[in-house]
Amino acid sequence: MDEDQIKVRIQYINDLDPFVSTSNREPLKPLIYHFPLHSQIGEHLSEICRQLRAPHKPGDAALQVSPSASGDLGSYLDSDLALSEQSDELQILQADP
């Protein structure tokens, strides 16, 4: 794999209203995405939304780090920055097998 990319699992989670459970549709299984480290995250939201079949427009979507070891949701990534510019989040993603 290219050292300018990181392989991550992406999954669509609809958190618009966590108290509404009217949807019987289960979330899709996570997909593998090779995320470039040095380009703005926002440049990839359109492709990520398409691959996940998320109903959101890219401008209304955000990526949130969720280390699989803890299962807890982490911080949101800044769409205007590259992943390489968000060192704390990048370390979490690199530590996740």
Per-residue pLDDT of 36-85, as tens digits, reads 999 999 999 999 999 988 888 888 888 989 866 556 678 899 999 999 99
Instruction: Work out the pLDDT band at 19, boundaries 50, 70, 90.
Output: low
Phi, psi for residue 37 in degrees, rounded to 5: -80, -25
Instruction: Work out the pLDDT band at 28, boundaries 50, 70, 90.
Output: low
Let me know how many helices (H) and strands (E) the chain has, helices first. Answer: 2, 2
pLDDT of residue 14: 67
Asked whether the predicted pLDDT for residue 1 surpasses 80, the reply is no
Residue, of 82 and 11, whose pLDDT is higher: 82
Asked whether the predicted pLDDT for residue 94 surpasses 90, the reply is no
Give the number of other CB atoms < 10 A from CB of residue 95. Answer: 9
pLDDT of residue 15: 63
Residue, of 76 and 16, whose pLDDT is higher: 76
